Chains A and B, each alone.
Chain A
Amino acid sequence: EVQLLESGGGLVQPGGSLRLSCAASGFTFSSYGMSWVRQAPGKGPEWVAGIRGGGGNVYYADSVKDRFTISRDNSKNMLYLQMNSLRPEDTALYYCAKVHAEWFGKGSVFDPWGQGTLVTVSS
């Protein structure tokens, strides 16, 4: 059974940084693309970033480009999201999600999703 467990969320002041982690199990981690998707309370999901199984190619939503960095450690079955220069509008539940194939891009399906970790950006 695929399991995804996010951690690292919390309360941070505007301009601050956080690093989210996602521990994956139940599948061959390096064979699948992964993604971060966030959801503000009462809103639809918003894709944040994606990465290929091999880790060589990364992709970002315009709203987080140059502030967030997605990475993975295939030896540890871990996915990360380094978030810098955080803004109040980054407040959301952050999910990691497995993608159906090694590549990431147009046509990728997010399935399954973890339970999420809450990030709150406020002074």
Chain B
Amino acid sequence: QPVLTQPPSSSASPGESARLTCTLPSDLNVGDYSIYWYQQKPGSPPRYLLYYYSDSDKGQGSGVPSRFSGSKDASANTGLLLISGLQSEDEAVYFCMIWPSDAVVFGGGTKLTVL
């Protein structure tokens, strides 16, 4: 199973922007995959946020604010979750997910602290 690498933690202040990364292994090209993002708060199940393949192929989960968006950094083989105008309620663990084959793979998650 391929491993998606996410930094264990990140922090930012209210009103600022957060940039969370999900790095694919070198044998997978980020340009070939949709990156899916989930948010999980303590004691709750993961919540689907969005997916990003390209600027013309992306989708937002139901009720997910437009402050959440996806992107890619091809040079780093990385998927990105961008959160603008951070709010205290955005403090959570964020997981990325891809379908490299018939089996889906999740990253280990990044805990975002809103200082």
Interface residues of A in 72-101 (CB under 8 A from B): 95
Q: Which residue of B lies closest to A4 (CB)?
A: B45
Q: For B102, what are the chain A residues with a Cβ–Cβ distance below 8 Å?
A: 59, 105-106
Instruction: Indicate if B79 sits at the interface (CB-CB under 8 A).
Output: no
Q: How far, in Å, is A66 (CB) from chain B's closest CB?
A: 15
Q: How far, in Å, is A105 (CB) from chain B's closest CB?
A: 6
Instruction: Indicate if B61 sits at the interface (CB-CB under 8 A).
Output: yes
| A45 engages B48 (CB within 8 Å) | no
Complex Cα–Cα for A43 and B48 (A) = 17
| A108 engages B104 (CB within 8 Å) | yes
Interface of A is mostly: loop
- Per-residue CB contact flags for chain B residues 32-53 toward chain A (1 = under 8 Å, else 0) read 0010101000001111100100
Complex Cα–Cα for A16 and B50 (A) = 38
Q: For A43, what are the chain B residues with a Cβ–Cβ distance below 8 Å?
A: 108
Q: Which of A44, A59, A112 contacts B45 (CB 8 A)?
A: A112
Instruction: Indicate if B74 sits at the interface (CB-CB under 8 A).
Output: no
Interface residues of B in 90-108 (CB under 8 A from A): 95, 97, 99, 101-108
| B101 engages A109 (CB within 8 Å) | no
Instruction: Indicate if B70 sits at the interface (CB-CB under 8 A).
Output: no
Q: A45-B95, A47-B103, A61-B103 are in contact. Are A112 and B48 (CB under 8 A)?
A: yes
| B103 engages A44 (CB within 8 Å) | no
User: How many residues of A are in contact with the other chain, CB < 8 A?
Assistant: 22
Q: For B48, what are the chain A residues with a Cβ–Cβ distance below 8 Å?
A: 109-112
Which of A112, A115, A116 has its CB near the most chain B CB atoms (within 10 A)? A112
| B106 engages A47 (CB within 8 Å) | yes
Complex Cα–Cα for A45 and B45 (A) = 10
Complex Cα–Cα for A39 and B107 (A) = 12
Interface residues of B in 2-41 (CB under 8 A from A): 34, 36, 38
Q: For A53, what are the chain B residues with a Cβ–Cβ distance below 8 Å?
A: none
Complex Cα–Cα for A111 and B63 (A) = 12
Q: Which residue of B lies closest to A115 (CB)?
A: B45
Complex Cα–Cα for A23 and B74 (A) = 42
Q: For B38, what are the chain A residues with a Cβ–Cβ distance below 8 Å?
A: 45, 110
Which residues of A are interface residues toward B (Cβ below 8 A)?
A: 39, 43-47, 59, 61-62, 95, 105-116
